[in-house]
Copies of this chain bind each other. A is one copy, B any other.
């Protein structure tokens, strides 16, 4: 890891000037906390809509539901993909129009569906007959799209088989939706979060084409493909720039659909929010376990259950910056609690200058997504991660 900020890989989004401002802002505040730079949110949203102007962006609220983030994206014209009625309440309280909201969780209670329907939401995802029956009862006439099961190999935070159904079952659901008086609107899939293999979209798009054709044969005209999320943020492991993803996805779509490319929805969360965030933490302790051990342990005041839950199994590797110079040593990084699952990185070795000591500030970049709301409510008594918007 570099000790010079201008060499630091994250400077593309947080400029040296912005970083100085951030450090000034952080002064005197009790660590740990997250700072969100709304300019980055705006930049990422505009970049995506410029590069893929044919798609409607449904921002995945779960990535970062801070009111300032939602309001900014709402002003920019974004739509929203949400996971629960609690997120719905939040969005409505911020003035988001329900016709810009998609209920994107396949696992919902009938009472939840009724709640969304009564609030004016008309777009629902589904992947099972039981759910479809509930939608037809609780939200008659709604538009539904069908989540395809994908394997999503190659993603850093995969989605397994929890969501979606196989194409044969999806086909049955499409017919059933029509028979229930719902509007079979399109197909969705999700290739896994922080997906680094662009080719994963190819197969999924081909399956969509197959289902569009099958439905057409029985008189059902599907109109929309929801490409899901999966676009990457800038963590330590390198990825292609998002424009490469978009170019390839457009090529896959042209190959499969020629001139009749469907309406496109995308559900970015991580790729919009992650780069906007910096967690400011502090070194609590640097210590060795025995006289002859090669690696020192560096304990931070933020850990796995205080906002960095995506460090589980060392899945996501955040860029970490310490404003100190010295011989770079490999260290083991851990959080502040009495739980040994609260070790951030032990297999993957970060390096840190030999001069670090208790009290040094530590800046953890690309932490704008899946951090604040994922922290525990009172793990070992520690409060959830605080968050500020950079002013």
Contacts and interface: CB of A to CB of B under 8 A. Distances in A.
Interface of A: 61-62, 65, 82-87, 90, 104-105, 107-110, 127-131, 134, 149, 157-166, 168-169, 282, 284-291, 293, 297, 299, 301, 305, 309, 312, 334, 336-343, 346, 358, 372-384
B104 A338 contact: yes
B381 A288 contact: no
A47 B126 CA distance: 51
Contacts of A159: 340
A131 B169 contact: no
Given A105-B337, A301-B109, A376-B376, A285 B130 contact: yes
Interface-central residue, A87, A134, A376, by most chain B CB under 10 Å:
A376
Contacts of A289: 127, 149, 161, 164-166, 169
B373 A376 contact: yes
B169 A290 contact: yes
A83 B306 CA distance: 14
A70 to B, nearest CB: 12
Nearest to A336: B107
A128 B293 CA distance: 13
Contacts of A128: 285, 287-288
B287 A130 contact: yes
A162 B83 contact: no
B375 A86 contact: no
A291 B378 contact: no
A343 B160 contact: yes
B379 A377 contact: no
A312 B284 contact: no
Contacts of A130: 285-287, 358
A375 B378 CA distance: 8
A85 B128 CA distance: 48
B312 A341 contact: yes
Nearest to A127: B287
Given A149-B289, A162-B343, A163-B338, 5 more contacts: A82-B381, A83-B337, A131-B287, A162-B297, A163-B340
A165 B290 contact: yes
Nearest to A287: B128
Contacts of A288: 128, 165, 169
Instruction: Report which residue of A104, A162, A284, A337 has the largest number of chain B beta carbons within 10 angstroms of its beta carbon.
Output: A162
B374 A379 contact: yes
A391 B152 CA distance: 48
A358 B168 contact: no
5 contacts: A85-B381, A127-B287, A165-B290, A373-B376, A373-B379
Nearest to A337: B83
A287 to B, nearest CB: 4
Contacts of A291: 166, 168-169
A377 B375 contact: yes
Q: Which 6 A-B pairs have the closest CB atoms?
A: A166-B290, A86-B381, A128-B287, A87-B381, A83-B380, A84-B381
A61 B372 CA distance: 24
Contact of A375 (B346, B376, B381): B376
Contacts of A104: 338
B338 A285 contact: no
Contacts of A340: 158-160, 162-163
Contacts of A293: 166
A108 B87 CA distance: 36
A213 to B, nearest CB: 20
A385 to B, nearest CB: 8
A299 B112 CA distance: 15
